[in-house]
Structure formats: structure tokens, C-alpha cells
Structure 1
Amino acid sequence: MTDLLHSALHSATSKASVGGAETPPVPYSRPVTPGSTAYPSQIGFVGLGAMGSVMARNLANYRGAHVHASPPILVWNRSPASCDKLFAELGQHKIRIAKSLEQVATECDIIFTALANDEAVKSTYTKFTETLKHTPPPRGKIFVEMSTIYPTLAGELDILISSVPHCHLITSPVFGTPSVADAAQLLIVMSGDYRSKKEVAYMLVPAVGRKVVDLGGNLEKAPTFKLIGNSLILGTLEILAESYTLAEKSGIASSEVHALVKDIFPAPGLIRYSDRMSNDQFDGILFPSLALVILNVACSGTTGFAIDGGIKDASHIRRLTAVHNSPMPLIDIAHQHLITARAIHTSQVQAGQETVDVLDWSGIVAGARVAAGLEPFDHKRRAVVQED
């Protein structure tokens, strides 16, 4: 998710009020203080990608400083390197590395998952359920699904988790880039079991995010809201791509368009994507294909959001618009341009001509460019120059 939506949502939510007063960061009463015999919750975190690793780190640091006798967070990732990196940074008093998903399922009271795609999420929760049916939990567990998924998957996960006694599921996607996550300023959306949301909300704010938006008990609402937010971003990317392409065809320098964006749309995220298109900087963060690995999680790359993730989100949004008979023609076009850009990049990779390993979804501009007869990823080649 990008700084663009984060900026807009921060402005809207920070000014929201009820009866003239600002809404609180957490829309629930604080949970009852545990008795002296209560034990701190054992937290598990599955998926240490670009976002997950930062959220897990912030959560571990906050609990280490503010929760007395808090046990180290138990982390698991398909690639052990991500776990090792976090352990080296925080140490044994804040992080433990799980040997398996089964260990996370049996040892943890609250389990967060931040995975790359729907298939990875379904596979992970199937494994959780199989494990807990063989080893029924003696007390309550809360599963917190933070990935960007198609809404109906939440219902499938609920069927799995609710089949195990004492287990509850909430959906809780977040808005913000890794840099926003690093500052613990994420906007957190929640839907599902009320008591579980209350407990998790006070665990995440202010450790991981600045505010929680409650969308009620229907588990599908939070994933739907996340896709609506992503549609705002994707639509903005498409408009930028088309505008930059028209400027190139009409002989106006991309630097002039970028300056205009900064003057009339001073949103950090929009400026950042404008800068990428203006300077042909399309390096992204990798989300490897499930065809390559089972139980896939997001892996760190460089700076952006991989176009594969953008295509997945666009596909989810288009499916949602069809279900609700609510057309979004701009998203249809954006989806086509994303696929075109990925096809071109794949051809370049096969020919050994690629300039970036992972294409960021701002590379959507390549789709608009080739439709206009321009070079896809280098606007300075064969540029159109209009004479005065």
C-alpha cells in the first residue's frame, strides 16, 4: 500500500469527530486489566516480508519496553533468512524463531499472518487447522489475517478456524508503505469477533499503527475496504501513466509534468509515483510466485510494490465490481496496462535486456506508452519532439 492513500486517510481520519470531538485512535473500550495471575500473551507472526518484518519488529520492541514479562515473539517465514535477520537485530529476549507452522499454531495465543497471496493464506490456515485438530488448544486463540485477500476467502478461513474450539479469527489489513510501517503510523482496519478486535487493537496501537477503523462483525468487510483503497491507488497510477504518455507525445518534458503534480497534488505518495514515471525508476519489491514455492510469503526486494502484486489486487477489484454490479472502467484499463507492462518486462528478462529484476507497479506506464507508439521503460528513447 502507498503513502498516497495513507496521506488521504490520515487527513480524513484525524479530523473525524463524533459530537464535535475527535474520534479515538482505538474505537473500543480498553480491555479489563488482567489479574496478577494472568500471563502475557504469546504472540506469533507468520510472514516476514517487506511489511510483515517491520510490523513484527515494532510489535516486539514495543512489548519488550511496555509489557512486563512479555515473552519473545515467535516468528516463522518460508525463507529462514528473514527470521535470522530479525533475530540478529532484536535478540533472543524479543524474538524466537519457530521451526514450523505447527509450532506457531500450538504455542501462540495470538497469531498474525501477513502473506503474499490468497493461495498462501489458505494453505497456511489449513495447516493451522490440521495442527490444532490434532492438538486442541486448552484456552482461546486469536488469528489475525493482515494480508490483502479477496473478501470471500475470509469466510473460508472462518470455517476452518471456527472448527477448532476456543479459536477466533479477525481480518485486519493495513494501509501504508514499509516506511509508514517503520514509523508505526499504519492505518489498521478490522472486522470480526468484537472481543478479539478489542484485544488486538490495543496490542497494535501505538506499537504498529496510529488508528483502528472498525467495520463490524462481518469478516469480509475489512478485505473489501482494503481493495477499495487499493482501487484509489491503482486508478491514480493509471491517470498518471496516461498523462505522462500524452505529455511525451506532445513534446512536453516529463520534468514539467512532475513539477505540475507537485504543485497541484502535493500528496507524498502521488509525488513519489510521479517521480518514478518521470525518471523511469521501476524497481520493485518481490512477491515470488506460488508456482515456485508452497506457503509463499512476501520477500524483501528493493523499494516498490511488485507488479505481480498489483495485478493480483486489480484482479480482485475487478471481480468485486462484477459481483456488486459496480463498474470501474478505469480499473479495467489499468489491469490491461499492468499485464502489458509485465509481458514486456518478461520478454526483456528472457532476452537478458531487463534493467530491473522486479518491476514496480508504477511500470503500468509502459502499457500506456506502447499503445501510443513509445518505448515502454525509457521515455528518452525515440521521444517525440514538437517544434515551436
Structure 2
Amino acid sequence: MSTNHDNVSLEGVHSQAIPFPKPVASKTSVQIGFIGLGNIGSLMAQNMARKGPIGEPNFPAIMVWNRTPSKAEKLVAMVGKEKARIAQDLEQVAQECDVVVINLANDDVVRTVYLRIQACLKQSPPTRNKIFVETSTIYPSLAAELDVMVSQCPLTRLITCPVIGSPIVAEKSELILVMSGEYRSKQEVSHLLVPAVGRKVIDLGGDVQKSLTFKLIGNSMILGNIEVIAEALTFAEKSGIGGHHVEHLIREYLPAPSMLSYTQKMRHANFDGKNGFSIDGGIKDATHIRRLTAHYNSPMPGIDVAHQNLLTARALHERHVKEGKTRWPTLDWSGIIAGTRVAAGLNGFDKTKDFGTLDEQ
């Protein structure tokens, strides 16, 4: 099996990207499985299938499962049957895989999947070590529940590993992996996922809730930036300056790839959430952030405003869906700008219906 890691220095990877020494090599190959193939999960699975861990040329085909079978079929068609195979159900992934990476949409779905995994492994207990890698963005206290479920099964461990990065970043294997949980499990998983899936691991210790708290802090920064850019674009149009100058300023002064991408989406009304981050996911994350800040008495008023604008944008989109007037079955969270535009007296999504504003293409 060819990989993209032929020229990578293992010592360099250890010292710069992974805070754990490489574990003693196992005599048997590690079987990796993926449950959940959304916009981020599918890219992680693709990269793992195509590249595999460093130093394992005979890495076995990954096993994948998704509630919508077509997504699993599409992935296998892209990487080849020798690199990925489809499980008949999620229980097969839980039983046959040594490391299971889970990436799902929300807390309720995550809890349901783990209840099925727990029932499966209690009925058929593992005979070798098994690690579940929870990469979904969920409320931190749920991780404690999942840890209890998993620990009731013999030889089974849970680590939380939310990922930071957009689909563009995930496609390039440049995600940041934030890990919490049992040391040896983090050690093993780190050396499987870097650099095939991510470029760096941040270790936040043994408490499985900490990495999820950190992920929500990270998402608050991203959401806060999107909100400010949405407000700036709207203000620039209303003041007659034009959003193109705001985009130029970001490109010259704040050239973060994700911020440029969101700016372009908002400027050109490209709110298709099919290959981005859905507004439902954004509202879920904003709700978690606000709940967490209330728990710690640490206000984030910018997120309160962003949450309101996300709700406004979703309400507008749902109305347009009912009226058959939308181009996007799923709205990207960059659609947040509809909230700022409506507040400024502009049309939420359609700039062609505005008068007296400027936004050169």
C-alpha cells in the first residue's frame, strides 16, 4: 500500500505534532472503523483509507458505517474496495474493530449509538483491547455518561477527540485533534491519526470532558468571527463602501483560510450547507456554548448575538423552504448574515432585492 508519508520523519512527527512517544508496535494490525460519514467524518475516513498510519504498509481496509448507506457506498467507490469496506450495521463495527472513530451530528444521536454499542459489547464481550474515539461536538457532561457506558464493557476505553477545522482543512489532513482520556489510548490513537487525519494533537489530560469544553471555546471564536464579518459586510453595503472592500481587507490583514471562505460565501450568497456546516449544527454549538458559559459564570455576549442571528436565518430559510423559494435544502451557518441584513432593513438572502446599497462583484 502506498502512502503519502514516505518522506515524513517519525522523530519530527513525535516532537512537533504528537505529545506522546510512539507505543510499542503490536504484532497484529489494528482494524479501524468509522461510524458517521458527515462532512467531516467522511473526509477523515477517506484520508485514513488512502494514507493509513505511518510505518504500516499492510494496513487493513477500514470499516465504515453510516445511517444513510449511500454515503458509505460513495466513500468506498472513491477510495476502492481494497481500502474500505461497508459494515452491515454499527454493531459489526463495534465488534470487529480495535479503534472506532465516531463522528455524529448531535448529542441525541451520539447517546443512541453508544447505547447500541454498549448492548452489543455486553452481549458479546471483547477479547482484545478496544478504543472508542468520540470526535463529535457534544456537551461535555455527555462524555462522562459515555465513559461510564463504555467502561462497563471489558477491555474497552473511551477517549474524546473533537476536531478543529473546516471541511477544507479536513480534506488536507490538517485538522487539530484535541484529546482527553486514558493516557495509553490517547498515545495509540495519536500515532494512528497523525498525519493521516490531522496535523497536531493537543492533550488536555485524563478528564474526557475537557477536550469538549475546549472544542466549544474554539467554536465560539470561529462563530464570533463569522458574526463580526457578517456585521461588517452588512455595514459596508449600507454605508456605500461595498462588501468587496471588506473581503479585500480580510484577505490582506486577516488571511485565515476559513475566514476568507466564510466571507466569500456571505458576499456571494453561497449558503449551500451540503458541503459546509449546517445552520442546525451552528445553533446546536451556540446553545452548548451559552449553556457552558452560564455554568462557569463567564459571559460571552457576542455568542448571544450570534445565536439570535442564527435563529433568524433559520426561521427565514424554513419559511422559504415552505414557499418553495430556496436554492439550498440545507442552509450553511454562514447564512447567519441574513440576521444582520434583516436587522439593517435589507433582504435576508437576496441582494438583488436591495436598493441603495453597494457590493461590487
Deviation at 1:116, TM superposition (A): 0.8
After superposition, where does 1:152-301 map in structure 2 within 5 Å?
Answer: 152-284=141-273, 301=274
Q: Does 1:58 align with 2:47?
A: yes
**Residues of 2 paired with 1:68 and 1:359: CA distance?**
41
After superposition, where does 1:308-347 map in structure 2 within 5 Å?
Answer: 308-347=280-319
Q: Does 1:305 align with 2:297?
A: no
**Residues of 2 paired with 1:105 and 1:308: CA distance?**
28
Q: What SS class does the counterpart of residue 269 from structure 1 fall into?
A: helix
Q: Aligned residues: percent identity?
A: 53
- Structure 2 counterpart of 1:106, from 95, 105, 113: 95
**Residues of 2 paired with 1:325 and 1:261: CA distance?**
33
Counterpart code for 1:232: M
Q: What SS class does the counterpart of residue 76 from structure 2 fall into?
A: helix
- Structure 2 counterpart of 1:136, from 116, 125, 132: 125
Q: What SS class does the counterpart of residue 213 from structure 1 fall into?
A: strand
Q: Specify the alignment match of 2:22 in structure 1.
A: 30
**Residues of 2 paired with 1:340 and 1:347: CA distance?**
11
Would the aligned equivalents of 2:131 and 2:159 in 1 still touch at CA under 8 Å?
yes
Name structure 2 gaps, 5 residues minimum: 1-13
- Structure 1 counterpart of 2:30, from 38, 41, 55: 41
Q: What SS class does the counterpart of residue 351 from structure 2 fall into?
A: coil
Structure-1-length-normalised TM-score: 0.85
Q: What SS class does the counterpart of residue 353 from structure 2 fall into?
A: coil
**Residues of 1 paired with 2:55 and 2:148: CA distance?**
35
The runs of at least 4 consecutive aligned structure 1 residues that moved more than 6 Å come to: none
Q: Specify the alignment match of 1:291 in structure 2.
A: none
Deviation at 1:64, TM superposition (A): 8.2
Q: What SS class does the counterpart of residue 241 from structure 2 fall into?
A: coil
After superposition, where does 1:65-104 map in structure 2 within 5 Å?
Answer: 66-104=55-93
**Residues of 2 paired with 1:68 and 1:379: CA distance?**
53
Deviation at 1:68, TM superposition (A): 4.3
Counterpart code for 1:360: D
Q: What SS class does the counterpart of residue 176 from structure 2 fall into?
A: strand
Would the aligned equivalents of 2:99 and 2:132 in 1 still touch at CA under 8 Å?
yes
**Residues of 1 paired with 2:289 and 2:143: CA distance?**
15
Say if 1:63 and 1:385 are closer, same or farther in 2 by CA, change over 3 A.
closer
Structure-2-length-normalised TM-score: 0.92
**Residues of 2 paired with 1:92 and 1:246: CA distance?**
51
Note the aligned Cα RMSD (angstroms): 1.7
Which deviates more from structure 2 when the two are superposed, residues 375-384 or residues 319-328?
375-384
The answer to which structure, 1 or 2, has the higher relative contact order (CA under 8 A, 6+ apart) is 1
**Residues of 2 paired with 1:254 and 1:92: CA distance?**
47
**Residues of 2 paired with 1:70 and 1:270: CA distance?**
36
Name structure 1 gaps, 5 residues minimum: 1-21, 285-300
Deviation at 1:253, TM superposition (A): 1.7
**Residues of 2 paired with 1:282 and 1:63: CA distance?**
33
Counterpart code for 1:105: A
**Residues of 2 paired with 1:93 and 1:365: CA distance?**
44
Deviation at 1:327, TM superposition (A): 0.3
